Structure 1
């Protein structure tokens, strides 16, 4: 890991448990446990997760993303991508097909958690294609 990437939360360990759902290397640092586990997820440049959907009822299944360092992308299916920089906050409603990850040449970290409720689950889908990803600007300054 590059020493040039600094952030306020730990980077964590390689995210091997979910590696099959990522293109590139991500890292996971659990920050809290309990009914609302909160984790810091860090992405090496170019790393992104597959399209996925968080499910839940009774208020559960919304994902909250808080960018804490670097620069990355969030995109919901059928919508324009949103550039995430430190301070960007995204609420992903349950049932929304989406992906998130680093820009091509910069590290990215976000704190993530899922709102508690009933029947909360995650459905992993297809990878974000290289064609889709390469069509995005590559750096913080390219937006």
Structure 2
């Protein structure tokens, strides 16, 4: 689900909590060494994720927030902020020429540059939390 979060959006808070669970507590955030990524540079958005009245600006940035049952990808387009809520059971990550995150037929691709290399530990933390949540022991080899 994608939400416009430029202003207070009660539906976003309610749906994100219902789907992904409450945000991590302060103790849990310290224990897992943070729940937010650094910023990524967006290479491409799937057509259905592109906001209405899209303005192609020079560079669009994004960051990822971890939740107990999934992730939230926050991105901007000029003055508007958007949040894409993805539960772990629908999250697919491809690491090719770009870092690509897919869910329900939608995708967002990130450029692999210095920002990507700074976030490598975060990406592995995200996949570990997904595997742990889905109980995918066969990936821990």
- Report the TM range for the smaller structure's normalisation: under 0.3
* Greater per-residue strand proportion: 1
Q: Give 1 or 2 for the bigger CA radius of gyration.
A: 2
* Superposition TM-score, scaled by structure 2 size: 0.25
* Greater per-residue helix proportion: 2
* Superposition TM-score, scaled by structure 1 size: 0.25
